[in-house]
Structure 1
Amino acid sequence: MAFNSKNPFLTNKTFSTATVSKKDEVHQATVLGYDTEMTLSGTINKSLILFLLLTASATVIWWLTFNGMNPIIPAFGGAIIGLILVVTSAFKPQLSPYLAPGYALFEGLFIGGISAIFEARYPGIVIQAVGATFVTFLVCLGLYKYKIVKVTEQFKSVVLAATLAIATYYLVSWLFSMFTSFTPVHYGNSGMSIGISVFVIVIAALNLFLDFDRIEKGAEQKMPKYMEWYGAMGLMITLVWLYIEFLRLLSKLSSKN
């Protein structure tokens, strides 16, 4: 779901622990073949599979919602199960071939339900958010591929720190709003609220560069094949986060009109 898309499982720790050690590199080379090592093409294929599963699941909930079903229960049920699968994958990445497709299906319930709710209130907003998400993804991919943006250690530190700050702010704001009459600054359609949404979208987009870098490094280090599912799942989390933030920003802008 959007709130867990701070990408805990594309961390350096997980990718480094899955790396073949230098000591075993020669031996592994005689045992591991192309079909047992992580590759860029394999990760791309897995990402497409997850995207199709998520889209199919979201489409079903979308159709049911506009045919009279209340999407709240399946949407938040899917979000909770999706979160459980993400946490499980973070600790057991070797299970990603099974958990990643499940995450895509259940996250699709969340995305489909939330999208239907926003669309009912702001007609046309979903296609705008989808378009903005894909344009952002393609722009970031192009900037990374042609080395216009380089993922240095300083770049990683800044993006990760900003992501952690956003996650902390959202969590604290949510807790305060639940138990007090406090209204978080990012609620509503004020200039400050819109500015926060723009900032969060920028940080979410920058996380895509980290995803691209870690997936590329994982392929270079010839990590186990299951890391393709792991990397694809992490990329999907960032895209879901980005999409939800675009929905929120566009809804704020629409409500000002």
Structure 2
Amino acid sequence: MIGRSGNPTLNENTFEQSGYYNGHEAMTIGGTVNKSFMLLALLIGAAIVSWVMFFNGHDVFAFMIGGAIGGFVLAIIISFAPKTAPYLAPIYAVLEGLLIGALSAMFESTYYGITLQAALLTMCIFLGMLIVYKTGLIRATAGFKRGVIAATLGIALVYLLSFVLGMFGLSVPYLHDSTPIGIGISIFIIIIAALNFVLDFNLIEEGAQQGAPKYMEWYCSFGLLVTLIWLYIEIIRLLAKLANRK
């Protein structure tokens, strides 16, 4: 049985429903890594476009809204139909790139240097979690998985509540504040986002070992990108909170 991931796009039923393949048709870790780099390149390329447009005086609000809504819709489709990942994951990466680029530019215009800091911290955390996973310092045990999944779902519910309350001019206490409690909440969310990488790495490794179909390389790469984007956004929000306290 393949272990579960806290990432909603990567779960234990994904490979089971896909069937198993052998030989050149099977998923490999190397293939997943290559496709992850492809999606990341598309994300960065699209982000540069919206970033440059923002600082050239263009309105990038449409990029933010279109990227957020379009990315969300595609994420739902890919999650329920993994076979669409080879076609929709690249589009998802571009849409999220437009969103991330515009969002980052807005933060950068207020807090100079924050984008580079957030990007470096995100990549350092990603590499750090990969190292601790490969060295066995953190193991994706059943209890570990249950804890991360429960925390991730809890965070998702809080953000959903925040979105609904925001429609009525209300907000969740401390969630967006620069108070010590608000900063503590952001740090907790970042820790949970980082721990999701351990579950993702474990699922990808087991999927490759059990011979999941080739298209799952795109699906798993998409799942990693979802976690990476989540982590980056949480880090840049934390840095903005810290900057507000200076």
TM-score by length of 1: 0.91
Return the match for 1:217 from 198, 206, 209. 206
Flag as ranges the 4+ runs of structure 1 deviating above 2 A.
Answer: 180-184
CA contact (8 A) 1:159 1:203 kept: yes
> Which ranges in structure 1 are unaligned for 5 or more consecutive residues?
1-5, 21-27
CA contact (8 A) 1:58 1:113 kept: yes
State how far apart, in whole Å, the 2-side matches of 1:235 and 1:180 are.
33
State how far apart, in whole Å, the 2-side matches of 1:134 and 1:16 are.
31
C-alpha change, 1:217 and 1:183, in structure 2 (3 Å) is closer
TM-score by length of 2: 0.95
State how far apart, in whole Å, the 2-side matches of 1:55 and 1:94 are.
24
Mapping of 1:33-52 within 5 angstroms? 33-34=23-24, 36-52=25-41
C-alpha change, 1:19 and 1:156, in structure 2 (3 Å) is farther
Return the match for 2:190 from 191, 195, 201. 201
Residue 121 of structure 1: aligned partner = 110
What is the one-letter code of the residue matched to 1:33? G
Deviation at 1:185, TM superposition (A): 1.8
Residue 16 of structure 2: aligned partner = 16
Residue 155 of structure 2: aligned partner = 166
State how far apart, in whole Å, the 1-side matches of 2:170 and 2:68 are.
26
> Which ranges in structure 2 are unaligned for 5 or more consecutive residues?
1-5
State how far apart, in whole Å, the 1-side matches of 2:52 and 2:169 are.
37
User: What SS does the aligned partner of 2:167 have?
Assistant: helix
State how far apart, in whole Å, the 2-side matches of 1:238 and 1:182 are.
25
Q: Give the RMSD, CA atoms, in angstroms.
A: 1.2
CA contact (8 A) 1:173 1:184 kept: no
User: What SS does the aligned partner of 1:7 have?
Assistant: coil
User: What SS does the aligned partner of 2:9 have?
Assistant: helix
Residue 3 of structure 1: aligned partner = none
CA contact (8 A) 2:161 2:172 kept: no
